[in-house]
Amino acid sequence: MEQKVIFKDLGTLEYAKAWDLQKKLLGQVQEIKVYNHSLPACEQSINYNYLLFCEHPHVYTLGKSGNDNNLLVNENFLKEKGASFFKIDRGGDITYHGPGQIVGYPILDLEAHGLGVKQYVYKIEEAIIKTLEKYGIAPERLEGATGVWLDTKIPGKTRKICAIGVKVSRYVTMHGFAFNVNTNLEYYNYINPCGFIDKGVTSMQKELGKKINFEEVKENLKEQFAQVFAYEYVLLNEG
């Protein structure tokens, strides 16, 4: 059965507010899932899933298995750079979010989609890969690491263009990906991105040598997610 997903472009949003919204929606999906469990299909409530896009003001987030030492600067320096720092409950190590980056938060019931966690991460990567290919960029996967990379076979040239870190609770996902479009890469100088010290970071802007139409990339990525995950978007009247 094709799943129904509500898409929301949240624009620029403080990290803490986005995190709170994710937790709220995750709880909502879980609650309806439990409610439907003992009911015949004809009596079950529709359990909408979500795909949230946003940009964050400068912020670093450290996953639950991350190492504090991968943040290379102190609190005062962060304030000088207008950046904040959060320890959060996703997998993975440290990453950066900021303007010019598409941050995506899928709130999906993996059981309803017939997916395991590894398959889910693979499909996020696939949606990013297909989007990049539309712009003439040749993305790759890197064995033993999540995310989307370039030049994985060239030592010293391997660089990440999209980071992925997720949490799954009762088969429902939160957190997600950070896709560098027009991102200011200077901010990666203050961390060991995702814990790596021998690999770089890049953006679409850097690879193509020009500023990219941000809204166009979001629209392309939105459609690739629908195709890769085999769902359709629905509109709900709110308020």
Q: β-strand 59-62 against 3-12: which pairing, if any?
A: unpaired
Cβ-proximal residues to 112 (8 Å cutoff; 6+ apart), any chain? 3, 47, 49
Round to the nearest angstrom and report the end-to-end CA distance of the chain: 29
Angle between helices 117-133 and 214-229 (to 10 degrees): 140
Cβ-proximal residues to 51 (8 Å cutoff; 6+ apart), any chain? 5, 6, 7, 8, 104, 105, 106, 107, 108, 222, 225
Q: In this structure, how many other beta carbons lie within 10 angstroms of the beta carbon of residue 40?
A: 7
Query: Nearest to residue 58, comparing CAs of 95, 7, 90, 22?
Result: 95
| Residue 194 annotated in active site | yes
How far does Cα 225 stand from its chain's mean position? Answer: 12
List the catalytic residue out of 42, 54, 162, 194.
194
Structure tokens at 86: 């959060």
Given a contact cutoff of 8 angstroms between Cβ atoms, the answer to whether 140 and 161 are in contact is no
- Residues labelled catalytic: 194
